[in-house]
Structure 1
Amino acid sequence: MMNQELTCGGAKAMAERELAAFFQAVTELYGPEQAEASAEDWLGELMARCGLPASVREWREVSIAAAARLAGRLGPGLQGA
């Protein structure tokens, strides 16, 4: 499914998988509080886009942007790790 246009149902499924994987990774690394804040960041990044991502790569860009916000929140030493 790489770089392939997604249907509406496919986009929803991809969003659910991407957010769930991101949330789980943040929970494991930094705990549930950071995971909650990061999920909000992830949704904010998605809402800031002009449209729904159309490929796996574009969904991953949403997660990368949310991860950058997490890194900014944790600071240079990644406190809380």
Structure 2
Amino acid sequence: HALTKELVEQYDVIKIEDLKAKNLLKNHKLARAIANQSWRKLRFQLAYKCEWYGKQLVIVNPRKTSQICSSCGFDDGKHTLNVR
């Protein structure tokens, strides 16, 4: 609660990726860490607190977000994991 309140008070627009936790759990090296993070709860808290404070929460489709430049839109293809 403290983290989401701080984020909402500090920023007028918050953008988060609409990640599919089910797909992330297929990575056996990271599955336990991902499962313990409560992403759905964080997103839910951000949503209602943004509404309370009159802020904007934008849910971004995660498709190609690590490949397309957010400034100019240039798509330079697949990247290795250390770049993503």
Q: TM-score range by the shorter chain?
A: under 0.3
Q: Which structure shows the higher helix fraction? A: 1
TM-score of the superposition, structure 1-length normalised? Answer: 0.28
Q: Which structure shows the higher strand fraction? A: 2
TM-score of the superposition, structure 2-length normalised? Answer: 0.27
